[in-house]
Chains A and B, each alone.
Chain A
Amino acid sequence: MTRVAALALALLLGSLSAGAAERMVIGYVDLMNDARHEDRAGFGGIVFEQRGRPHDGAALALEDLAMAAQAGGIEFELVAIQAADPAGAVGAIETLRIERGARFILIDAPAETVAAAARAVRGDGRILLFNVSAEADALRGADCSTHVMHLIPSTAMRTDALMQLVVVRKWRDVLVLEGPDARDADLVRALERSAKRFGVRIAAKRPFVLGSDPRERDQNNLALLTSAASYDVVFVADDSREFSRFLPYQTMSPRPVIGAAGLTAEAWHWAWDRDGGTNVSRRFRRMAQRPMRGEDWAAWIGVKSIVEAALRARSTDFATVAAYLKGNEFRMDGSKGQALSFRPWDNQLRQPVQLATQDAVITQAPFPQFLHQSENLDTLGADRPDSLCRFPSDSR
């Protein structure tokens, strides 16, 4: 089940940490076959997006904070298990907890697996999972768990970011093109919520399919899909990218494309050149030999949050560190220019969302035009009053 491909990355720092440093194991679980991390390749094997395992980001964070850890007298160890399947991932969490004493465990898996893992640890008051790559709103909503912190921005945070941009740019009407994948439907649902929240009109919503069958031309022909409607911008939901990457410059009206192509909403883009972003991306590229992506940043900030919380709380005790990490005082830097913290109502990491083309971060949301009564970052994603998440009152 859980193959012993466990690679332990111990940072044993001798020189300064005289005497008995405390130890803390950070667990990491991912899946052996996870298509989400394979390079995106199109027809003929053309690679149009280089991807890889976010574990690289976790390893980078540990390296980045080595000296701070040393100064704080805590030795952190990242222990990773690559599970063969979703059931194995749940077992891996158990292994890390029992055999390695890991209480803080990053999990890089699709939403269903994260949800299963959360169910498996329910009732254990001494474990905290960190969701690296599952964006599903439900994980932060109806299916939320007090044991799961969310590092990657939710789908709603991304669509909110894009709709804020649409409003700021005074683009009023959006043409929505929806792909056949279930994730495309989720994304469109989130978009409709965001459009309503920020007062954007949806001019039309049209399903598309890949193909050239003339009988389906209303769904596979770009000219037909983008005509007979008046719109300022096209939003395309396309998990495959195989349709959307051909959409810009082929719309019937000369309008920008957002969503899966054109301008995309990201947790992190390698071209972010402010707030120390270039340094982080450069270190990542040196280590992983590929550009840093949103999921890599999520794993990086996950380990960073655990290490910084332990160092600031001056403790390796689970309850102390977990309380500090979830607490009001804890704010950390993620090289996106704003102090980051976790929302108490759904455990989502508050963060700016980067709106980027292929080679530039055009801007970061939230925009100053949208003010929130307490935290402007809470204009992205489910705010406290809208949240469907209900934690058991005793385990906040």
Chain B
Amino acid sequence: MTPIRLLAPAFAVLSILALPLVVLAKDTGRIFVSNEQSHTVTVLDGRSFASVATIKTGRRPRDIKLNSDKTLLYVACGDDNRIDIIDVAKLAVVDSIRGIDDPEVFDIGPGDRQLFVSNEDAGKLSIIDLATKKLVRSIKVGQEPEGVLVTLDGASVFVASEAANLVQVIDVASGTIKANVPVGSRPRRLAQSTKEVWVSAEIDGSVYVLDKSNYTVAGRIEFAPKGFRREDIKPVGLTLTRDGSTAYVALGHANRIAIVDAATRQVRDYILVGKRPWGVALSRDEGHLFVANGASDDITIVDARRGEVVRSVPVGRTPHSVAIDD
């Protein structure tokens, strides 16, 4: 595992000196990165970005998310049909929720009561009770479901179906689909503000903005970084600031992050990161953006306010998602 080499003391010290302004968290500040092809989660120090630990997980760990008090990290392990639970204090897998068919992306509902996960291969959305760690129900959705997002009130779940070109809205209480929103080709991931849900459409090369109040398309954003053709633009991961004013969209094959002004839906800037960036995560203070570069086995840390790359840090093979304990 390459991250070990990063611990070379001289390198670590130098990097701290070089970055006196990077102060990320009151808590451990640690950064967790899932590595799809190493079957591990890399843990980085929040200040030095040096590797603290490499945690072995089930095979093909993809989405990762912390619970609300940040004591547990859930890891969707697609090839082992389970969700591993990492104790953040112990940095070890302490439990697993088994029998979850090919879990890919998930979200956790308010109060940490339920976890909603897309079963990519089975074409389902599964609802898991986190207290009993049992599957409550599975709902048939469009083929190849990926992005899952629980609304802030916990009443609805949005699911993006890659093969059906649909975003489906599921009523949590009844477990029924209450809306189908056709979007561009290959919808992947979702992000939300209070009023909107943003959807990346990878093959369409765009982001769709959905109105939460009536489940209709309220806008569409295209990307045109200089020197790229339409076919090179493949948006996947995206996140919004809490006030809903700014969006960060990972453009995949174009190796860039687009910074979008949400109100005007104009792209403010494009930031060059690593190869095939997909997963993105903002620090709690929204000062730093962490980008998982799937094809260069590293993450790029971006100063979100200045729109500048702080540095890149090698992790495991094919990093998928980032979660931050801050």
Stretch at the interface among A62-70, A83-91, A242-250, A264-272: A62-70
Q: Which A residues are in CB contact (< 8 Å) with B166?
A: 67-68, 71
- A68/B142 contact (C-beta < 8 A), A16-B177, A308-B165 known: yes
User: Does A282 interact with chain B (Cβ within 8 Å)?
Assistant: yes
What CA separation (Å) do A317 and B168 show in the bound complex?
Answer: 27
User: Does A311 interact with chain B (Cβ within 8 Å)?
Assistant: yes
Q: Which of A71, A311, A331, A375 contacts B204 (CB 8 A)?
A: A331
Q: Which of A22-77 contact B (CB under 8 A)?
A: 64-65, 67-68, 70-72
User: What sequence of 0s and 1s flags, for each residue 1-21 of chain A, a beta carbon within 8 Å of any chain B beta carbon?
Assistant: 000000000000000100000
Tell me whether B120 and A279 are in contact (CB under 8 A): yes
- How close is B25's CB to chain A, nearest CB, in angstroms? 35
Tell me whether B182 and A68 are in contact (CB under 8 A): yes
- A339/B120 contact (C-beta < 8 A), A67-B143, A332-B185 known: no
What CA separation (Å) do A16 and B180 show in the bound complex?
Answer: 10
Tell me whether B121 and A279 are in contact (CB under 8 A): yes
User: Does A289 interact with chain B (Cβ within 8 Å)?
Assistant: no
User: What is the size category of the interface that chain B forms with chain A?
Assistant: 20 to 34
Q: Which B residues are in CB contact (< 8 Å) with A376?
A: 229, 231
User: Does A358 interact with chain B (Cβ within 8 Å)?
Assistant: no
Tell me whether A339 and B165 are in contact (CB under 8 A): no
Q: Which of B161-193 contact A (CB under 8 A)?
A: 161-166, 168, 177, 180, 182, 185-186
User: Which residue of B is nearest A278, CB measured?
Assistant: B121
Interface size on A, residues (CB 8 A): 25
User: Does B196 interact with chain A (Cβ within 8 Å)?
Assistant: no
- How close is A340's CB to chain B, nearest CB, in angstroms? 8
User: What sequence of 0s and 1s flags, for each residue 172-200 of chain A, a beta carbon within 8 Å of any chain B beta carbon?
Assistant: 00000000000000000000000000000
What CA separation (Å) do A67 and B160 show in the bound complex?
Answer: 12
Q: Which A residues are in CB contact (< 8 Å) with B161?
A: 67-68
User: Does A283 interact with chain B (Cβ within 8 Å)?
Assistant: yes
Q: Which B residues are in CB contact (< 8 Å) with A338?
A: 203, 231
Tell me whether A339 and B163 are in contact (CB under 8 A): no
Tell me whether A67 and B141 are in contact (CB under 8 A): yes
Tell me whether A67 and B185 are in contact (CB under 8 A): no
Q: Which A residues are in CB contact (< 8 Å) with B229?
A: 376
Tell me whether A65 and B164 are in contact (CB under 8 A): yes
| B residues lining the A interface (CB < 8 Å) | 120-121, 140-144, 161-166, 168, 177, 180, 182, 185-186, 202-205, 229-231, 234, 253
Can you name 9 extra interface pairs (CB under 8 A) apart from A332-B203, A338-B203?
Answer: A65-B143, A67-B142, A68-B165, A71-B164, A279-B144, A311-B182, A333-B163, A339-B185, A339-B230
Q: Give 15 A-B contacts (CB < 8 Å), ordered by A residue.
A: A67-B140, A67-B180, A68-B161, A68-B165, A71-B182, A72-B182, A279-B121, A280-B163, A283-B143, A333-B185, A333-B186, A333-B203, A338-B231, A339-B230, A377-B231
Q: Which 7 residue pairs across A and B have the least CB separation, nearest first?
A: A71-B180, A333-B203, A68-B164, A67-B142, A333-B185, A333-B186, A64-B143
